[in-house]
Amino acid sequence: MIEYFQRLGARSFGMFERLGRGTVFFINIVLSIPSVLIRPRLLVAQLYSVGVLSFSLIVIAGLFVGMVLALQGFYTLSDFGAEGMLGVMVAASLVRELGPVVAALLFAGRAGSALTAEIGLMKATEQLSGMEMMAVDPVARVITPRFLAGLISMPLLATIFSAIGILGGYFIGVGLLGIDEGGYWSQMQAKIDFSQDIINGLIKSIVFGWVVTWIAVFEGYDAIPTSEGVSRATTRTVVHSAFAVLLLDFILTALMFGDI
Amino acid sequence: MDIQRGKVTAIMGPSGTGKTTLLKLIGGQLRPSAGFIEVDGQDVHKLKHAKLYELRKKMGMLFQSGALLTDISVFENVAFPLREHTKLPESLIRHLVLMKLQAVGLRGARDLMPAELSGGMARRVALARAIALDPMMIMYDEPFTGQDPISMGVLVQLIKVVNDALGLSSIVVSHDVEETCAIADYVYLVSNGKVVDHGSPADLAQSDSSWSQQFMRGMADGPVPFHYAAKAYANDLLGL
């Protein structure tokens, strides 16, 4: 029994110690942001590999999520004779919740895992140590451009996800199920509030972009420099990111929409 | 331990005795639990971050794996420290890179990617990169491990030539006795984190220390026993 509590205690200490190291690591990232901003070339290269290469996945996923939402929503709304509200339902679901959350989960799987694996392998092959010995700070040169790229890409990808999803809903709702085209768009324009829905959705995606990219770059930098260590770190990135996104989504939703 | 300027100093010992750790301590990548390390009159571990990075510009380090950046070419790898630390015009960077690559015999390989290089070539490129900023010292971590005889011969010669031609101080960490003794001016033998013997290669060959004799001659048994600690063989067989 005592051993059980000892193990529990050791695990808790380990968790807090990692959280502490992660926080110090994040502070180092923030401190090195100015050095990246004066060399935007590093950031542009990472925007391509983190953001642009995730684009097709986000577009395809957004399209299908929007189409499924329209199909499911139509059958529920039609029971109440409220098919005309389909556009509002699709847009509100996407902009408030599914856009930021699903895009962040996909982003963690596509870009987050790639970031962790890349940084972890750079550590395992002594590239990061090599940089340190060449008097080049690996946090400023390798980590911060990737972190900023994730932070910038995520809200853009989430916005694209929502926009494509709304179009997917339009194809199904108007094209297949025969809903009035004008009603689809006008109801959406009337009911979706810019600050309440769109800005709050955007804030969510920025927070998710921050947490997913932070987890990804920290796991890579902190990985045990072996093939097994990098593999475990990559898995942890996806799992921890998913948990963090869902937990933060709940907290943010409660803060933003709790009083409605 | 005292590393003399302008000389090739070897640190030798069995695997796992802390040779690479010692290099990382000198480079300020690890902190010592006791004692201090001075490089060029400066206590490495008392330096602020910026001062430490300034000092590292004067230190080159050749990692066992080469530690080349895998996403850029050989040319760009050698140019990397120049681009990071100088504002030299592109034409001058090109000249410097070609000079460094010529010194290690790989000017013709400048457009290759690190994945296309053999292990020996990767270490030579890493050497060209390490001397790009004309450092005052270079640390070599196991430079001969896993090399074929020709690559090994090339590296042995290069370490000596580069040291003498550029007036560097070199520290070679290795357990390849023959190759290291061929170029070292002074040798420290370390075991279990302690210096057990030191002297010129010729002195160590004649050393009275049985440990030094076992290591220098590669004998299977001696102060470092052949058998890992275990209970008596007969008792083990009888299950006692």
Using CA coordinates, name the residue in chain A closest to B51. A135
Q: What percent of chain A has pLDDT over 90?
A: 78
Can you tell me the mean pLDDT for A83-110?
Answer: 93
Q: Tell me the chain A residues in contact with residue B63 when contact means C-beta distances shorter than 8 Å.
A: 126, 129-130
Q: Tell me the chain B residues in contact with residue A127 when contact means C-beta distances shorter than 8 Å.
A: 67-70
* Contact across the interface for B85 and A132, Cβ inside 8 Å: no
Can you tell me the mean pLDDT for A119-143?
Answer: 93
How far B34 CA sits from the closest chain A CA (Å)?
A: 22
* Contact across the interface for B84 and A141, Cβ inside 8 Å: yes
**Which ipTM did the prediction report?**
0.82
Record the pTM: 0.86
Can you tell me the mean pLDDT for A222-241?
Answer: 94
Nearest CB neighbour to A125, from listed B29, B67, B84: B67
Of the candidate ranges A93-102, A201-210, B37-46, the one whose mean pLDDT is the lowest = B37-46
- Structure-token match 């929409």, residue found: A257
Residue A260 is predicted with a pLDDT of 53
Q: Which of A243-257, B173-187, B221-235 has the highest average model confidence (pLDDT)?
A: A243-257
Interface residues of chain B, partner chain A, Cβ below 8 Å: 24, 27, 29, 53-54, 56-57, 59-61, 63-65, 67-70, 80-81, 84-85, 126, 129
Q: What is the pLDDT of residues A45-81, one digit of tens each?
A: 999 999 999 999 999 999 999 999 999 999 889 888 8
* Contact across the interface for B57 and A135, Cβ inside 8 Å: yes
Q: What is the pLDDT of residues B161-183, one digit of tens each?
A: 888 888 889 999 988 888 888 88
Residue A117 is predicted with a pLDDT of 96
How far B52 CA sits from the closest chain A CA (Å)?
A: 8
Chain mean pLDDT for chain B: 87
Q: What is the pLDDT of residues A134-154, one digit of tens each?
A: 999 999 999 999 999 999 999
A124 touches chain B (CB under 8 A): no
Q: What is the pLDDT of residues A2-29, one digit of tens each?
A: 888 899 998 899 889 989 999 999 999 9
B222 band by pLDDT with thresholds 50, 70 and 90: confident
